[in-house]
């Protein structure tokens, strides 16, 4: 009998979980073992109280292993877990929009003088100027509502996109919005082809500096076997619903485990609901939940979510919404959609979080890359 009980495999730990210095994060490891067993943790004797054990461990690397060993008359049992040290962690957030295509069609067909003369991008610029928010727009290759292709978008605005690349990025989401769930059963080759198509188009009309690796695939769904395609393109973090979220327009209640979480099972989903982030060592991928999806949350509910955040804080918070809800010609238009977005950006700023891109470094923290 042996089990580490206070830390699970894949935990992402920071200064809130122990004592941090320049050289290490010291944490307490607790567990249970047979009362007669000698217990070592990373080679050092553990303190024992009946079946309980505890030991202090110093994490010194970005990726660390913790091994507990119990030796008694029946043999030797070991358990090894992998944990991440989020070194010099700080409160930070990322904001992305899914399903983006309307703004491309609006600019491409009306040809305004500036991209920020377009309603959606203009409002995002104002929010950025107020709060410093960095946005990522996850693109469709085709606007199925207006039959407009990303290949028709002009290169006239490339200089302006590049001039704002520090806070406005674009990314891959899917080749097209429909049919739903395009990567649920797609091959790795299809995912790679679609990703590279969107990447190439962004480089063409905006420049490579404007492309950001995606944090989510359309519908939060592709087989983990396809993660190799994403890893090869630099993706190291994915967000999803995982648990207790609506999966269809018009749903009025939350479900339990959802399928918009890359097919992960309940143990991951429950942990993510409480801790918001975890590392999957099998796939070499960080997983994260979103605190707010603005198009699903009225303003009073956004307020409530931030009140709950204060009770269960986390240094990394993901915010999101869907672009099309901003447009009056969308069948599910929300007149206050961008007001909701601005509210979320204001509340996260007032809570002391800084804007970053989670696709960079360790969820936006570059301490390990200096």
Cβ atoms of residues 12 and 64 within 8 Å: no
The predicted structure's pLDDT at residue 219: 86
Q: Which neighbouring-strand residues pair with 290?
A: 318
Percentage of the chain lying above the pLDDT 70 cut: 95
The residue assigned the tokens 């962690």 is 89
Residue 303 has pLDDT above 50, yes or no: yes
The predicted structure's pLDDT at residue 273: 87
Find, among 163, 173, 167, 166, the residue nearest to 104 by Cα: 173
What's the DSSP call for residue 46?
P
User: What CATH architecture does domain 92-369 belong to?
Assistant: Alpha-Beta Barrel (3.20)
Helix axis angle for 102-110 and 119-131, nearest 10°, is 120
Residue 62 has pLDDT above 60, yes or no: yes
User: 17 CB contacts (<8 Å, ≥6 apart)?
Assistant: 25, 27
What is the rounded average pLDDT of the residues 294-305?
Answer: 96
What's the DSSP call for residue 94?
E
Q: What angle do CA 29, 264, 90 make, to 5 degrees?
A: 50
How are beta strands 135-140 and 142-143 bridged, if at all? unpaired
Extract the tokens encoding 354. Answer: 């800084």
pLDDT tens per residue across span 190-225:
999 999 999 999 999 999 999 999 999 998 888 888
The predicted structure's pLDDT at residue 258: 54
The predicted structure's pLDDT at residue 263: 77
The predicted structure's pLDDT at residue 249: 42
What is the rounded average pLDDT of the residues 296-319?
Answer: 95
**163 half-sphere exposure, CB direction, 13 A CA radius:** 8
Distance CA 253, CA 140 (A): 28
CATH 2.60.40.10 in the chain: give the residue spans: 2-85
Residue 294 has pLDDT above 50, yes or no: yes
Distance CA 78, CA 65 (A): 12
Residue 72 has pLDDT above 70, yes or no: yes
| DSSP alpha helix (H) spans, the chain | 102-110, 119-131, 158-163, 188-205, 227-232, 266-275, 299-311, 337-350
Find, among 304, 299, 301, the residue nearest to 338 by Cα: 299
Terminal Cα distance for the chain, rounded: 42
pTM: 0.93
pLDDT tens per residue across span 228-276:
999 999 999 999 877 655 544 444 444 454 556 677 888 888 899 889 9
Extract the tokens encoding 55. Answer: 């030991």
pLDDT tens per residue across span 84-120:
999 999 999 999 999 999 999 999 999 999 999 999 9
Of residues 27 and 224, more confidence is placed in 27
The predicted structure's pLDDT at residue 224: 81
The predicted structure's pLDDT at residue 253: 43
- Classify domain 2-85 at the CATH topology level: Immunoglobulin-like (2.60.40)
* Burial (Cβ within 10 Å: 0-12, 13-18, ≥19) of residue 77: middle
The predicted structure's pLDDT at residue 266: 81
Cβ atoms of residues 290 and 318 within 8 Å: yes
Distance CA 92, CA 338 (A): 21
In the chain, DSSP finds a helix count (H) and a strand count (E) of: 8, 20
Cβ atoms of residues 204 and 152 within 8 Å: no
Extract the tokens encoding 3. Answer: 């089990």
pLDDT tens per residue across span 165-190:
999 999 999 999 888 888 888 899 99
CATH 3.20.20.370 in the chain: give the residue spans: 92-369
């Amino acid at each position: 009998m042996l089990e580490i009980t206070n830390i699970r495999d894949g935990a992402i730990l920071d200064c809130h979980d122990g004592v941090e210095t320049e050289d290490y994060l010291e944490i307490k490891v607790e567990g249970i073992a047979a009362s007669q067993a000698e217990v070592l943790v990373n080679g050092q004797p553990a303190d024992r109280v009946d079946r309980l054990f505890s030991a202090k461990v110093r994490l010194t690397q970005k990726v660390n292993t913790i091994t507990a060993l119990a030796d008694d008359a029946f043999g030797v049992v070991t358990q090894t877990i992998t944990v991440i040290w989020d070194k010099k962690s700080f409160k930070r957030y990322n904001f992305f929009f899914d399903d983006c295509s309307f703004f491309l069609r609006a600019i491409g067909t009306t040809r305004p003088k500036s991209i920020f003369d377009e309603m959606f991008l203009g409002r995002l610029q104002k929010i950025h100027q107020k709060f410093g928010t960095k946005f990522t727009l996850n693109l469709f290759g085709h606007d199925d509502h207006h039959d407009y292709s990303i290949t028709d978008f002009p290169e006239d605005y490339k200089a302006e996109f590049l001039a704002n690349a520090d806070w406005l990025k674009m990314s891959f989401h899917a080749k097209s919005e429909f049919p739903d769930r395009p990567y649920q059963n797609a091959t790795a080759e299809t995912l790679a082809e679609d990703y590279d198509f969107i990447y190439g188009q962004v480089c063409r009309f905006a420049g490579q500096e404007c492309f950001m690796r995606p944090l989510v695939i359309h519908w939060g769904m592709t087989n983990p076997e396809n993660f190799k395609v994403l890893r090869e393109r630099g993706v190291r973090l994915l967000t999803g619903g995982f648990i207790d979220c609506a999966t269809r327009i018009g749903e009025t209640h939350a479900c339990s485990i959802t399928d918009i979480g890359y097919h992960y099972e309940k143990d991951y989903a429950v942990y993510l609901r409480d801790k918001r982030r975890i590392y999957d060592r099998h796939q070499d991928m960080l997983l994260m939940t979103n605190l707010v999806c603005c198009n699903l949350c009225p303003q009073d509910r956004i307020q409530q979510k931030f009140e709950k955040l204060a009770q269960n804080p986390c240094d990394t918070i993901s915010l999101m919404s869907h672009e099309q809800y901003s447009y009056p010609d969308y069948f599910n238009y929300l007149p206050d959609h961008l007001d909701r977005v601005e509210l979320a950006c204001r509340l996260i700023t007032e809570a002391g979080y800084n804007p970053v891109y989670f696709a960079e470094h360790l969820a936006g923290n570059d301490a390990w890359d200096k």
